[in-house]
Amino acid sequence: MKIKKFEVGPLLVNCYVVYDEQTKDAFLVDPGDEPDLVLDFIRQEGLNVKYIICTHGHFDHIGAVKEVKDETGAQVILHKEELEIYKNSPKVAKDFFGIEIESQPEPDILIDNEETVKIFHKEIKFLHTPGHSPGSMCIYTDGYLFTGDTLFAGSVGRTDLMGGNMEKLLSSLKKLASFPPDTLVLPGHGPKTKIEFEKKNNPFYHEIT
């Protein structure tokens, strides 16, 4: 399994292309902007993108979903508690940030709490991790944990937006703390980190230990 990261859009969202070098099957995490950049890589590698996974529905994480889906035919995965935010994102982006994005396609798969699916012979586990938003979720596979805006290196996602809740976010951090110490955390913004490092150094983890 290989992972290619792109920093996209004005808020520098981490978009990840996760793929199998042999089968060329792939899934995307958070295609927030600059679809041509991501699609050029997909074409160059000859990838078959099966799923577009949105860790949550904020505009900076979903802005290129439509373009990627239109070209690849991939199925869009979102947590069911995030549907309202996902649908309202174009209005929020314009009203509060002056950024225009298209309405995004209806999700093909709505995750209900926590589920596991198989993608290129690997188990992909979806974890409901509310706090930054009601339907935020993290994705775990093969020692990698994609955390969206739930957990960053040295910080966490903000909770002052619609549906944010610090108490729930701290509970979600506690859930993530159960992963093996060397689990590699790939967040929605900023550099990668590890669970062990965050448990020791992230000030928000000090509030739950």
**pTM for this one?**
0.96
pLDDT per residue of the chain (209 residues) written in tens, 0 to 9: 999 999 999 999 999 999 999 999 999 999 999 999 999 999 999 999 999 999 999 999 999 999 999 999 999 999 999 999 999 999 888 887 888 888 999 999 999 988 898 877 888 999 999 999 999 999 999 999 999 999 999 999 999 988 999 999 999 999 999 999 999 999 999 999 999 999 999 999 988 85
Spell out the SS3 assignment of 111-149.
ECCCEEEEECCEEEEEEECCCCCCCCEEEEECCEEEEEC
- 3 state DSSP class of 115: strand
* 26 close to 39: Cβ distance less than 8 angstroms: no
**pLDDT (tens digit per residue) in 79-130:** 999 999 999 999 888 887 888 888 999 999 999 988 898 877 888 999 999 9
Q: Do the Cβ atoms of 25 and 118 come closer than 8 Å?
A: no
What does DSSP say about strands 48-53 and 25-29: parallel, antiparallel, or unpaired?
parallel
pLDDT at position 207, please? 83
Nearest to 6 by CA among 63, 87, 79: 63
Distance CA 36, CA 52 (A): 15
Residue 119, classed as helix, strand or coil, is strand
Rg over alpha carbons for the chain, rounded to the nearest Å, is 16
Answer whether 141's CB lies under 8 Å from 125's CB: yes
- For residue 78, count other CB atoms closer than 10 A to its CB: 26
The DSSP 8-state label assigned to residue 188 in this structure reads S
What is the spatial distance between Cα 92 and Cα 58, in angstroms, rounded to a whole number?
A: 9
Nearest to 64 by CA among 6, 143, 21, 22: 6
Q: Give the model's pLDDT for residue 71.
A: 97
**Residues 35, 67 contacting (CB under 8 angstroms):** yes
Cα separation, 86 vs 83, in Å, equals 5
- What's the pLDDT at 97? 83
Bridge partners of 148? 187
Give me the domains of the chain, ranges plus CATH numbers: 2-207 (3.60.15.10)
Residue 209 pLDDT: 56
Q: CB of 85 within 8 A of CB of 58?
A: yes
Q: What is the pLDDT of residue 19?
A: 96
